[in-house]
Amino acid sequence: MGYKPHKIEMKRGRRRGKRPEPAQYLCERCGKPTVLPFIPRGTAPILCKGCLRKKKKREEQEARAAANLQARREREAAAQAMA
């Protein structure tokens, strides 16, 4: 019967072991050229390494700030409940 590609492989249009050639794109934030080892789907912005690092750092800071705010609110609620 032969090799039958997996559904995901068929969806992406390639067989196992064959990767797309790296292609050059422009970063959507700074405009610098960047090479991606995959074909973008268009669902996320194309970012260079520097902009991607900045984005991840900002997201981590926002997550920490949200967690700290929630913890502070919980402490304040617990203190009010004890009073």
Q: What is the pLDDT of residues 27-83, one digit of tens each?
A: 999 999 999 888 888 899 999 999 999 999 999 999 999 999 999 999 999 989 887
What would the two tokens of residue 45 be? 């912005």
More confident residue, 14 or 36: 36
Token digits of residue 22: 């790296």
pLDDT greater at residue 75 or residue 3: 75
Residue 13 has pLDDT above 60, yes or no: no
**Cα 57 from chain centroid (whole Å):** 12
Query: In angstroms, rounded to a whole number, what is the distance separating the alpha carbons of residues 28 and 2?
Result: 43
Task: Please give the span between the terminal C-alpha atoms of the chain, in angstroms, as a whole number.
Answer: 76
Single out the residue of 26, 53, 22 nearest to residue 37, CA to CA.
Answer: 22
* Residue 34 in tokens: 């960047």
